[in-house]
Each structure stands twice: as C-alpha cells, then as structure tokens.
Amino acid sequence: MKFLRPDPEDLAAREDPYNVTQASRIYFLPNLMTAGNLFCGFVAVIHCIQARLAETVSTGEYLNQSSSGHYTQAVWFIFGAAAFDTLDGRLARMGGRESLFGAEFDSLADIISFGIAPALMVFFLILSPTQGYELFRNIGWFIGFIYLLCAAVRLARFNVITNPLLHGEKKDTNKDFVGLPVPAAAATVASLVLFLIHLAAMDKSLRLWALALPPLMLLIAVLMVSTVRYPSGKGVDLQTRTRLQPFVLFLVFVGLVVVFKEVALLCSCLGYIFFGLIRHWRRPARPRIQANPV
C-alpha cells in the first residue's frame, strides 16, 4: 500500500495567510538559513569597523595590510550572506513552508547584510580615494545613505508585491525581479572592494577611480528602486535540465571565477546589472491606442 506525500503547492494553498497562527509559523530550516544570513551580515559590519580602526591607528594610511585583511573578510561574509539568502528561499519553496514571518525575518536580515554592511564599505573604503576632492569628501556619507535608503525601499516594496494578502488566489507567472535585487547590489559593492584591494596590493593608483565610483554607486542605488526587470533564477532547481554546451560554459565560468576572482566577480556583477538595463531598453514599447479618425 502506497502513501502519497501531499503536493507542497497544494499544502501551501490550504494555508490561510489571514490566520495569525499560520502566518507567524517559524519553520526551522529556512529560518536557520536566514539566521546564518544575519550572522554573516553582522560579522561583515564588525570587520568594516575594525578595518576603519586599523587605518586610524596607522595614522590614516589607506588600505594597509591590517585594514585590507578586514575588508577582505567582510567581502567574503557578504557573499556568504548571499549564499544563505539563496538557500532559505529555496528550502521554503521546496518544502512548501513559506510564511509571512519568514518573509519579514528575511528582509530584516537582508537590510543588515546587504544594506548596512555595503553602505559602510561605500563610506569607509570605496569613496575613500576621493578624499582629495572636496565635493566628494563632503557628500561621501550622503551617497552611502542613498544606497542604504534604496535598499530599504527595495525590500519593503518586494514584501508588498509578494504579500499573499494582497493577491489572494492570483499568482504572478513572471519570475523576474522588479528592480535590481538587494543581494546583487551588495555583491557588486563587495566585488568592487575586492577589486580595489587587488589593485592596492599591486601598487596601482586608485585615484583614477575617484570620479567613476560615486556615479556607479548612485546607479546601483537607483536601479534597486527602478522597474527594470532582472532574471531571478528561481526556475533553476534539482530537476532543471540543460544541454552540454551551456553546462560546459558554466563550468568554464566557475573556473575563471576561481582563478581570477577579483576581476571575474566584478565583471559578473556589472554584466548582470547592464544585462537588465540593455534588455529593458530593447524591450518593445507597448503600442498606443489611437482614436479613430473622424
């Protein structure tokens, strides 16, 4: 005699989002991954502060060995937070254990890992080479705040868009993200930091980045609250099939990231950002309805 396991989608459909008990349920594995995300973000913030203190102790020397080590650790913890953020959503969807509590907890963790930690990096390091320019020296803190503000708005909008209380039985078939995802924005900032540390280790001048970095940070912030759609990858799971050529290309890409991680990570993040922009610009405009001539 066979016992059929309930379909996760049917199970999720039977759960009433209006029920307080069901909406506030804490499912162990997804929320454990969210806690890991929050932990990585908190440690990344600590390393950013320690890196700044290391620069102060060494009479303001920019990117000394101690501060570089702390910034590098912060970068990897942000990437670790992104990995945990990916796992918690997938575990929740695979097990049919999504709840309003999990969505809110995830956003609170994201604002630490992908909002505050990258904003500190923007303020402490990325805008630091611009300290010779009086304009950027005066508004560097404001650019960091703009990034943090847009990240918070992006997360709040995502919670509203995906809230089941507003949609009822309707489901959005388009799985693209509306606006640049906050983890992708944070990964771009982290890869920029890793690239700057790599240049500093090679005794390269960072002053050329002084004029390019603030506009890039503002572009990332604006894209988070824009309506530009970005691929989410939610359709990729253990059952996804692919052909040999894309599989080999993916392995080559992973190899390039491992060997040339500083350059490859930055190029990947920037490629993702501009892919969404180019696709948005090339999308055909909706035809306007013209009135019949009299």
Find which of 207-211, 219-223, 242-246, 267-271 is predicted with most confidence, using mean pLDDT.
219-223
pLDDT on residue 258: 76
Residue, of 210 and 41, whose pLDDT is higher? 41
Integer CA distances (angstroms), 228 to 21, 64, 89, 108, 150, in order: 36, 39, 22, 24, 14
- Across the chain, what does the average pLDDT equal? 78
- Say which DSSP state 293 is in: P
**Residue 27 confidence class, pLDDT cut points 50, 70, 90:** low
Which amino acid is located at 127 in the chain? Answer: L
Confirm if 156 and 243 have CB atoms less than 8 A apart.
no
Helix (H, G, I), strand (E, B) or coil at 178: strand
- Residue 229's SS3 state is strand
User: What pLDDT digit, counting tens, does each position of 146-168 carry?
Assistant: 999 999 999 998 888 877 677 65
Q: Is the pTM of this model over 0.85?
A: no
Weakest mean pLDDT among 65-69, 155-159, 177-181: 65-69
**175 with 237: CB under 8 angstroms?**
no
Give, in order, the Cα–Cα distances in Å from 70 to each of 76, 251, 255.
10, 30, 26
Residue 86: pLDDT over 80: yes
Q: How many CB atoms lie within 10 A of CB 275?
A: 12
Lowest mean pLDDT among 23-37, 127-141, 259-273: 127-141
Spatial separation of the C-alpha atoms in residues 16 and 148, rounded to whole Å: 34
HSE-CB at 249 with a 13 A cutoff on CA atoms is 5
pLDDT of residue 1: 42
